Amino acid sequence: MKQFLEIQPAGRMRLIAARFYAHGAYLFLPHPLSAIADELVSLREVWIQHADQWTERIALARGVEQRFRISEGALLDSLQKNGHQDRVVVDACKSSRLLVDS
């Protein structure tokens, strides 16, 4: 993204977001970054097969920690399925899981 994103909710809203650095995002995404760079895209546009399931699970989660764990699991699953590996990213994901479990 080259500019900030302002969200103006119309009513009660729950939000969880992940922001990637460009040099690390490709590891998690099934399509080239050029397809979504500097755009606001629906989860369905990125993870077609899993978007609805992930959205529902996150919406039904009980609290922020559970939403975080569901999101983390979805991202780790995507990381594994894409076949791209970056040792730094993998280690960072594992470290974040250890911090939450502590």
| Tokens, residue 76 | 């780790």
The pLDDT, as a whole number, for residue 89 is: 67
Question: When comparing pLDDT for 67 and 34, which is higher?
Answer: 67
For 36-63, what is the mean pLDDT? 85
Task: State the pTM of this model.
Answer: 0.65
Residue 98 corresponds to which tokens in the numbers above?
A: 């250890």
The predicted-structure confidence for 14-32, as pLDDT tens digits, reads as follows: 777 777 777 778 888 887 8
* Cβ contact 78:47 at 8 Å: yes
Q: Tell me the two tokens of residue 57.
A: 């699970």
- Report the C-alpha gap between 39 and 19 in whole angstroms: 13
Higher per-residue pLDDT: 86 or 65? 65
pLDDT > 60? residue 56: yes
Please report the pLDDT score of residue 102 as a whole number: 43
Cα separation, 64 vs 72, in Å, equals: 12
Q: Does residue 100 register a pLDDT over 60?
A: no
